[in-house]
Amino acid sequence: EIQLQESGPGLVKPSQSLSLTCSVTGYTITSGYDWSWIRKFPGNKMEWMGYISYSGSTNYNPSLKSRISITRDTSKNQFFLQLNSVTTEDTATYYCARWNYWGQGVMVTVSS
Amino acid sequence: DVVLTQTPPTLSATIGQSVSISCRSSQSLLHSNGNTYLNWLLQRPGQPPQLLIYLVSRLESGVPNRFSGSGSGTDFTLKISGVEAEDLGVYYCVQSTHAPYTFGAGTKLELK
């Protein structure tokens, strides 16, 4: 069974970096598919942030400009999100996903 | 960016009632490879989103066949033929034809 699990701090200070890990079990991330980070803001709004493909290429939402980086550690079957210079507007629940498989999500609050 | 307009924002239904949700795109979602990458997701309270329908009308494995998707180009519909209590939550359409991938604003399905 394929499972994804996010981990990382639930509280980040403004201007700092948000770093999250997605650990994947049951499927090797280099075997196929794009592996995305998606966030849900308070309310219902959902935003696709970007993905890293099975080959290691990345595609980011231009709305995040140069603040975002998605990388991976193939030896650990994990991929990572780094979002720099966060503001309170980055407060959201963050999901890693492969469209048909999603992590449980991690709520991140940006506050001093 | 592609704008997905989902209607209605809220839907009240009784158990057994059939309902439909509309998702209209600001541009055609037909990819140059001939596929139309329009998915439907359901997020139940306290749960991550779940893929229901992909490529407009293909039912994800394990999803009850009371869910069906239809449409083409810019106009898409999710139909639930006989709402059950477990169907309550927020439904999203999401397109992955054009980057950045974008979501509809969501339709909350409630019990009447």
Determine whether the interchain pair A103/B49 forms a contact, defined as Cβ–Cβ distance below 8 Å: no
B100 contacts on A by Cβ (under 8 Å): 48, 60-63
A21-79 pLDDT, tens digit per residue, is: 999 999 999 999 999 999 999 988 999 999 999 999 999 999 997 999 999 999 999 99
Q: In the structure encoding, which two tokens stand for residue A63, read together?
A: 């709305």
Average pLDDT, chain B: 97
For residue B36, give the DSSP letter: B
Chosen from B101, B102, B107, B110 to mutate, greatest number of chain A CBs within 10 A: B101
Place B23 in a pLDDT band, splitting at 50, 70 and 90: very high
Residue A109 has pLDDT above 90, yes or no: yes
Determine whether the interchain pair B96/A100 forms a contact, defined as Cβ–Cβ distance below 8 Å: no
- Please tell me if residue A105 touches chain B, with a CB cutoff of 8 Å: yes
Residue B35 has pLDDT above 90, yes or no: yes
Place B33 in a pLDDT band, splitting at 50, 70 and 90: very high
Residue A20 has pLDDT above 80, yes or no: yes
Across B83-99, average pLDDT: 97
B108 contacts on A by Cβ (under 8 Å): 44
Contacts of B2 (CB under 8 A, 6+ apart): B25, B26, B27, B29, B95, B97, B98, B102
A105 phi, psi to nearest 5 deg: 95, 150
- Please tell me if residue A2 touches chain B, with a CB cutoff of 8 Å: no
Instruction: Give the pLDDT score at A108.
Output: 98
B3-20 pLDDT, tens digit per residue, is: 999 999 999 999 999 999
Instruction: Give the pLDDT score at B8.
Output: 98
Instruction: Give the pLDDT score at B112.
Output: 87
- Which residues 23-62 in chain A show a CB within 8 A of chain B? 36, 40, 44-48, 59-62
